[in-house]
Amino acid sequence: MKYRIPALIAMLCVTAVLYWPTLHAPFLFDDIPNLSALASIDHIASWRDLGIYLSQARSFPGRPLAMLSFLLQKSSWPDHPLPFHLVNLGIHLLCGWLLYLLTLRIARAWLNEEDQRARAWIPATMAAAIWLINPIQLSGVVLVVQRMTLLMAMFVLLGLLAYTHGLLRQELSPARRGAWIFLGLGICMPLAFLSKENGILLPLYAWTLDATVLRVHVKRLPRNLLWWRRLLIIPVVAFIVGYLFWLIPAQWGYDGIRHFDVGERLLTEPRVVLDYLGKIFFPRFGTYGLYHDGYPASHSLLSPWSTLPALATVIALVIVAFVQRKRWPLMALAVFWYFGGQLIESSSVMLELYFEHRNYVPLMGIVLAFSLLLSSTNSPSRKQLLTAASTLWLIACGIATAFSARVYSSEDSLAVTWAHAQPYSVRAQSFLADRLLKHGQVGAALKTIDTIARRAPDNSMLAENRVYLLCMQGRLESNDVENLKTILRDATFDRGGFENMETLRKLAFTHRCPALDPATWLELADTLLANPAYRDNGIAAGYLHYQKHLWAVSEGNLDMAVHQLDATYRNDPDAEIPRLKAKYLASAGLYDQAIASLRDTDYARLPRLRRWLVDDRAINAQDMARIEAMKHAAQTKISGHHANLNKAHTQIPQP
């Protein structure tokens, strides 16, 4: 018992040392687009400013708790990622400590012998250490924006600690026990949800514990507390399951921005989660990272062949866990928790197929079950075998994490490692090409793009990158631009495909390449907008129309600029678009039109979160008052000018 605290401190310190190289990592992948809101306002001086910042998320509710945590570090954005990484690592360590406390509490409730309960801290420490150090956790900690996942996990663990406190502390009054249960499920669950949407799974984790290792304690609850617990768990779980089943027919046959539909996603995810489990149980260097867009989707039960075995394996595990949950509760705990934790991000919700950070909370169920198995084993030989296995697992995790973490200290090493590990990933190869370009190796960058483009010939981002690199080499010809147009007409959706148009627009106005002049760029933008994959996507279409508005501003074409801003607002409503339009009109002396554009703005088109948090009518009213003042000043100036002309006329001597 005297080694308990030193072991806990050592576990946290070792984790910190292993992650130390990652503190020097840059902002990566989704960090910049998701945190760009930090640069949208100079300071928070009022509730309105705070509302403007929080409402920039297009989805509801917008993960406001995570966004507030980023706001506290606004002074470090975008040049200093180190403070962001420090906070992420701190939350990761805190979650490890909370998992240790939860595991220890459940182990003491699960075990029968006093000696086992006294020594439960040993397997609890081991399990928490494996969870902290497992290399599959790297992307969840190092990717700054995944603080959303970290905070969600923190509130899930706090909620389960509060819930189990109320469930297990029989000496407390029913009212106090009910208050603790409500704190865990009724308060911490919304906090987890406001950090990241899959925090809504907290009641499912509580139900998993109740159905497996805490069954006896649930049966001992007073009748009123039993119903109170059901009221807090069953409606939420039913809502989650109902929502996911509702999505299947609602999204069937509609792939939207993905290269797969919901049926193909459901076929693919069993392969994905088994691949996750392989990385968890058999750590190895070089396979962990952010870019897995090259992972092939399943198009049928036999395409690829591994689809059917993977699906059968997952179904079999769930069925066996359910049927044998009383006989093998630890196996049921691991299966229900892990697959339940993947229920939202690895089922019918049309997210991307593969991200390692989705294992951050689901892995807890595996290490929790393993800890209980290790602590409840009475056979000395079996205990030695499990201890040796867990020690080897921990060592393997530590080695893989140590080598993988060192890669994060340099963008160049990240690019080379990920490009080698993911040869079919467009993102990984594009990241490598970008690093080569930054080092002046334009030829090598172009070779990298050409290689991956042969595997993805209809990718708009790669085709645009190729045109850019050819221009940098001074080798861009008109037929290269025509080839780009051909690809853009039928290209599959890629976020980089429309975002790259800004880079090409700026390049066109440098007049560096005769084959890519402003008029040609406009033709490219129109070609991409005619492609249904981009035309029918509000964000992409809005972005492209906004780029066309900037083109018109550069050409001094006010009418086109205003027209393109209207199209931007129709496709991707943003409260700043009408105000920008009014600014242009007012600067041209069209004051009445500027006022009308603000007065007639369709506020119902704004995202719900924006309408809830910000009174844009009041902001527009202030702008309208300023434009009225400008109009009055201009009229006064004109009247004064006319008066001076008349006065001068009366002073002209008559012949």
Contact 121, 104 (CB under 8 A): yes
What share of the chain in percent tops pLDDT 90? 65
At 178 the pLDDT is 94
**Distance of alpha carbon 482 from the chain centroid:** 36
CA–CA gap between residue 328 and residue 318 (Å, rounded): 12
Mark the ranges of the chain whose per-residue pLDDT is less than 70: 1, 45, 115, 253-256, 639-655
At 57 the pLDDT is 75
CA–CA gap between residue 93 and residue 133 (Å, rounded): 10
CA–CA gap between residue 341 and residue 343 (Å, rounded): 6
Contact 487, 444 (CB under 8 A): no
* CA within 13 Å, CB half, 165: 16
Domain count, the chain: 1
Q: Is 569 among the domain residues?
A: no
Token representation of residue 225: 């507390």
Contact 402, 283 (CB under 8 A): no
Smallest CA-to-CA distance from 470 within 458, 481, 461 is with 481
Contact 155, 363 (CB under 8 A): no
CA–CA gap between residue 226 and residue 219 (Å, rounded): 8
Smallest CA-to-CA distance from 147 within 30, 50, 19, 56 is with 30
Contact 99, 364 (CB under 8 A): yes
How long a stretch of residues is the chain? 655
At 287 the pLDDT is 75
Question: C-alpha angle with apex 346: 333 to 299, nearest 5 degrees?
Answer: 125
CA–CA gap between residue 305 and residue 311 (Å, rounded): 11
At 75 the pLDDT is 87
User: Is the four-CA dihedral 419, 93, 403, 282 of positive or negative sign?
Assistant: negative
**CA-based R_g, the chain, Å:** 29
CA–CA gap between residue 63 and residue 44 (Å, rounded): 18
Q: Is 248 among the domain residues?
A: yes
CA–CA gap between residue 585 and residue 616 (Å, rounded): 19
Q: What contacts 158, CB < 8 A, 6 or more positions away?
A: 98, 184, 188
Contact 295, 267 (CB under 8 A): no
Q: Is 513 among the domain residues?
A: no
Q: Is 464 among the domain residues?
A: no
Q: Provide the domain limits for residue 160.
A: 4-26+81-407
Q: Is 430 helix (H, G, I), strand (E, B) or coil?
A: helix
Show the 3-state SS of 281-346.
HCCCCCCCCCCCCCCCCCCECCECCCHHHHHHHHHHHHHHHHHCCCCCHHHHHHHHHHHHHCCCCC
List, for residues 562-604, the tens digit of each pLDDT value. Answer: 999 999 999 999 889 999 999 999 999 899 999 999 998 888 8
Q: Is 500 helix (H, G, I), strand (E, B) or coil?
A: helix
Q: Is 604 among the domain residues?
A: no
495-516 burial, b at 16+ Cβ within 10 Å, e below that, comes to: bbbbbbbeebbebbbeeebebb
Question: C-alpha angle with apex 137: 30 to 242, nearest 5 degrees?
Answer: 75
CA–CA gap between residue 211 and residue 213 (Å, rounded): 7
CA–CA gap between residue 533 and residue 535 (Å, rounded): 6
Q: What contacts 470, CB < 8 A, 6 or more positions away?
A: 446, 476, 477, 480
Token representation of residue 33: 């687009």
CA–CA gap between residue 400 and residue 287 (Å, rounded): 10
Token representation of residue 317: 């595990």
Show the 3-state SS of 185-252.
HHHHHHHHHHHCHHHHHHHHHHHHHHHCCCHHHHHCCCHHHHHHHHHHHHHHHHHHHHHHHHHHHHHC
Q: What contacts 375, CB < 8 A, 6 or more positions away?
A: 107, 110, 111, 116, 119, 120, 122, 123, 124
Q: Is 427 among the domain residues?
A: no
Helix axis angle, 411-421 relative to 380-407, nearest 10°?
120
Question: C-alpha angle with apex 378: 375 to 383, nearest 5 degrees?
Answer: 65
Residue with token string 């039960």? 301
Q: Is 584 among the domain residues?
A: no
CA–CA gap between residue 149 and residue 392 (Å, rounded): 28
Smallest CA-to-CA distance from 212 within 130, 328, 352 is with 328
Contact 157, 98 (CB under 8 A): yes
Q: Is 640 among the domain residues?
A: no
At 301 the pLDDT is 94
DSSP per-residue string spanning 443-455 = HHHHHHHHHHHHH
H/E run at residue 369: helix 362-376
At 652 the pLDDT is 42
Q: What contacts 560, CB < 8 A, 6 or more positions away?
A: 548, 549, 552
